[in-house]
Amino acid sequence: MASIQKFYQKHSDKQWLAWFWVPTLYFAEGIPYFLVNNISVMMFAKMGVPNGQLAFFTTLLYFPWFLKGLWSPIVDVVKTKRWWIIAMQLLMVAAMVLLTFTLPKPSAEMVASGQTPATIFWLTLVLFILTAFASATHDIAADGFYMLAHDQSSQAAFIGIRSVFYRISSVFGQGVLVFIAGIVEKKTAAASPDGVADIPFSWQVTLGVSAIVFAIITLYHIFFLPKSKNDAPRVSSDGQQANSVKEIGRSFSSFFKKKGVWLAIAFMLLYRLPEGFLIKMCQPFLVAKDGLGLDTDMVGIVYGTFGVLALTLGGILGGIFASRVGLKKSLWWMALGMTLPCLTFVYLAMAVPTNPVVITIALAIEQFGYGFGFTAYMLYMMYFSEGEFKTSHYAICTAFMALSMMLPGFVAGFIQEKIGYVWFFWMVMLCCVATVVVTFLAERKVDPEYGKKKVK
């Protein structure tokens, strides 16, 4: 391990070294996030939990990403970002193992009724919360480590790369893992005398696979994640934390003293409003009897694989586009990419196509637009976080990002149960007005040169 770190230090000025840790770091950042916020939705939907309860309780799991701004200064001043990354990954491995062995097993009759109470999954929810807190802390450290290792132009150039591998983890989580669950589900149905699938067992296998893969990544990072010269805790010469409480308070308060902070908060809360409603109901819609009624493994293919690949392509092109023209000029194009493709879900709900090619194309269009549009959101948060406490300020920004997903998520399921899928997706389209308004206001305040790749 020491020889690896010496190699990193010797070639620390070489940008290509980032390929050894950026891909795996953001793949690792994605796995627990998608496990807690996306796979849990599909799992509870297949377990027969009603949409209202499903959306409400899985939205509660988002709280750590909202609250992480409260403890992000601690990550900024205590220990190194690398230490926090490794520690949180080890904690998440333990939580995933416990999730695998403690998952409840409701009866086939209860699952089929669609009225499985979410309360029987109390231990699962507790472990998901633990994973979420560890994952949110890991995000703080990983994003801080990323910004310490890159200058502004390099951040813009590599934002597409980190987005790619973050989305590859989404393919693994929403595609591969969901596909595995679907295959196991069908195999247990075929082996059962009455043809009833063992849905709880299929998700137990899925959680076990995720634990094994994440443990392998954690082991890799223990040995291969570099030690950056810029990654150091704020300590005094005698080794004690220097004015740590004061530093934590100053890093937090300085965020709200930034020029244009309230406009920035409005942007972070409303830019993704349509997605905040859509994301909680899209997977239940795909498997619901009053939706498209797809098999679990088919969802893993059309949404979790092809959909995420389209999203990834959108992220790559978004990163390239932003690095060439800058954040200011790319904002409007990306806002359109974020909003217009939501019409595809209106089409799917009204037409209810059965052709998997048509469904895949529709989902790919929506996901491509979202991937392209989300690039501006990430780059805007980096732009607003610039300054002395960029790690904690970026974490506070991502906390507002989490809140933007939570507020609509709490009520999305109950609204859908009241008005049905067709009117629900029309309501999502109406929310696009909020995205347009905040984009108009924020674009005028952005530095025209921010994010442009510097020409040498």
| CA–CA separation, 183 and 178 (whole Å) | 9
- pLDDT over 90 (residue 328): no
| CA–CA separation, 212 and 224 (whole Å) | 19
Q: How many other CB atoms are found less than 10 A from the CB of residue 238?
A: 6
Mean pLDDT of the 50-74 span:
83
pLDDT of residue 226: 79
Tell me what percent of the residues of the chain surpass a pLDDT of 90: 21
Mean pLDDT of the 203-222 span:
93
Measured in residues, the chain has a length of 456
| CA–CA separation, 230 and 361 (whole Å) | 45
Do the Cβ atoms of 293 and 419 come closer than 8 Å?
Answer: no
- CA-CA-CA-CA dihedral for 427, 428, 429, 430, to nearest 10: 50
- pLDDT over 80 (residue 390): no
Taking the whole predicted model, whether its pTM rises above 0.85 is answered as no
pLDDT of residue 320: 82
Q: How confident is the model at residue 237 (pLDDT cuts 50, 70, 90)?
A: very low
Least confident range of 66-80, 128-142, 175-189, 363-377:
66-80
| CA–CA separation, 214 and 39 (whole Å) | 15
Least confident range of 140-144, 158-162, 285-289:
158-162
Q: How confident is the model at residue 245 (pLDDT cuts 50, 70, 90)?
A: low
Q: What is the 3-state secondary structure (H, E, C) of the chain?
A: CHHHHHHHHHCCCCHHHHHHCHHHHHHHHHHHHHHHHHHHHHHHHHCCCCHHHHHHHHHHCCHHHHHHHHHHHHHHHCCCHHHHHHHHHHHHHHHHHHHHHHCCCCCHHHHHHCCCCHHHHHHHHHHHHHHHHHHHHHHHHHHHHHHHHCCHHHHHHHHHHHHHHHHHHHHHHHHHHHHHHHHHHHHHHHHCCCCCCCHHHHHHHHHHHHHHHHHHHHHHHHHHCCCCCCCCCCECCCCCECCHHHHHHHHHHHHCCCCCHHHHHHHHHHCCHHHHHHHHHHHHHHHCCCCCCCCHHHHHHHHHHHHHHHHHHHHHHHHHHHHHHHHHHHHHHHHHHHHHHHHHHHHHHHHCCCCHHHHHHHHHHHHHHHHHHHHHHHHHHHHHHCCCCHHHHHHHHHHHHHHHHHHHHHHHHHHHHHHHHHHHHHHHHHCHHHHHHHHHHHHCCCCCCCCCCCCC
Q: How confident is the model at residue 12 (pLDDT cuts 50, 70, 90)?
A: very low
Mean pLDDT of the 212-219 span:
94
pLDDT of residue 239: 46
Q: Which two tokens stand for residue 447?
A: 């530095």
Closest CA to 282 of 178, 386, 378: 178
What are 159-212's pLDDT values in tens digits? 667 777 887 888 888 888 989 999 999 888 888 788 788 889 999 999 999 999
- pLDDT over 50 (residue 236): no
pLDDT of residue 166: 82
Do the Cβ atoms of 20 and 224 come closer than 8 Å?
Answer: yes
| CA 30-33-36 angle, 5° bins | 145
pLDDT of residue 455: 45
